[in-house]
Amino acid sequence: MPDRPSPDAARPAPLVAATGIVLDTRGRVLVLTTADGPDPQLPGGAVEETETPEQGLARGLREGLALGVPVGRLLAVDSRPPGPLGRSLIVHVHLVGPLSPQEAAAVSRNGAITAAHWLGPEEACAVLPARVAPRLRAALAALHTGSFAHLADGVPQPGSPAGLDPARRAALEHAGGLDAASHRASRPKALTAASVLFTAADGRILLVQPAYGRTDRWNLPGGGIDSDLGEIPRAAARREVREELGLDLAPGRLLAVNWSHKPGRPARIRFLYDGGVLDGPALARIRLNPTELLQWRTVAREELRTLVKGALRRQITACLEARARGTGPLELHEGRP
């Protein structure tokens, strides 16, 4: 007996499109002009019947810009009510890049694309059509907060984890307009980490060089707290030292808690513990995890300025003073008491 076609196949469906927020290493956004109309556009287009949004966007980048880079994470979804064609539209917005300078320079124009411009985010929002600019703003908010934006006709919805204006969020909260799940989704988030301050017998500070990210900046041993698994800061500090250095040492007392924040990004909270003094045999037992660290070294206090960023240098200095005086834990903001 032949298979019967599903009745769903004959039902009208929304149009689906995929848009790419293509960034370079300077944070600029790729904006296109096309022969199809006067308005600038973001890369992307309609998704064909057999494609996923990711596949459709990847095809559009290859065909329109000769750009064969991976399509990154989903930043936003925007749904629009039926327009002139009588069908609603669902737009998936994905991160693409950041492209290296070589990749950005190699972007070419094919088909209907007449020009490609690299613009700052605010400049890009100013030139894009009114229906497109809100998607870019919300997608960038989702990118910077490590979150996701839920839009309807370009407007962030109540409970959207990203893109919702803080004043609008506060008004909804005060009016009781958010259910418990939407309230949790839309509240600001913070990233938490735990670090350990070790010194050698001569007072020099133990620093480690990361194998990823900014390898030119040295750090204290430590890393992110797996709070989703119920890990507490002290346990995270011990785990990170064991994973990075191969030393299973219980952290000493808490020396400081540091709070740092940049506008539009999650706050960062760091718990700093006293690791004590490592003698020669203890230092000789260090075994680095090569997937995380390139090397370790001990440095004099005056060498910190050339090796670690200013905020961390201030945190280390404050912790050394708290350890010497037997004070603390200190409450620090960007390393300052």
Q: Give the whole-angstrom CA distance, residue 225 versus residue 273.
A: 14
pLDDT at 11: 60
The DSSP letter of residue 8 is G
pLDDT at 159: 93
pLDDT at 246: 96
pLDDT at 4: 61
The DSSP letter of residue 10 is G
pLDDT at 7: 54
**pTM of the entire predicted model:** 0.85
Instruction: State whether residue 3 is helix, strand or coil.
Output: coil
Instruction: State whether residue 319 is helix, strand or coil.
Output: helix
| Residues in a beta bridge with 191 | 268
Count CA atoms closer than 13 A to 218's CA, side-chain side.
17
- Is the peptide bond between 14 and the residue preceding it cis, with omega within 30 degrees of 0? no
pLDDT at 6: 55
In a structure prediction context, what are the per-residue pLDDT tens digits for the chain, which is 337 residues long?
455 655 555 566 789 999 999 999 999 999 998 877 788 999 999 999 889 999 999 999 999 898 999 999 999 999 999 877 788 999 999 999 999 999 998 887 776 788 889 999 999 999 999 999 999 999 999 999 999 999 999 999 999 999 999 999 999 999 998 999 999 999 999 999 999 999 999 999 999 999 987 778 899 999 999 999 999 999 999 999 999 999 999 999 999 999 999 988 999 999 999 999 999 999 999 999 999 999 999 999 999 999 999 999 999 999 999 999 999 899 999 999 9
**DSSP secondary structure, 215-241, as one string:** TTS-B-SEEE--GGGT--HHHHHHHHH
Element (H, E) at 325: helix 310-325
Q: Give the whole-angstrom CA distance, residue 82 versus residue 189.
A: 35
pLDDT at 240: 97
Instruction: State whether residue 205 is helix, strand or coil.
Output: strand
pLDDT at 111: 67
pLDDT at 37: 75
Q: Give the whole-angstrom CA distance, residue 219 versus residue 212.
A: 12
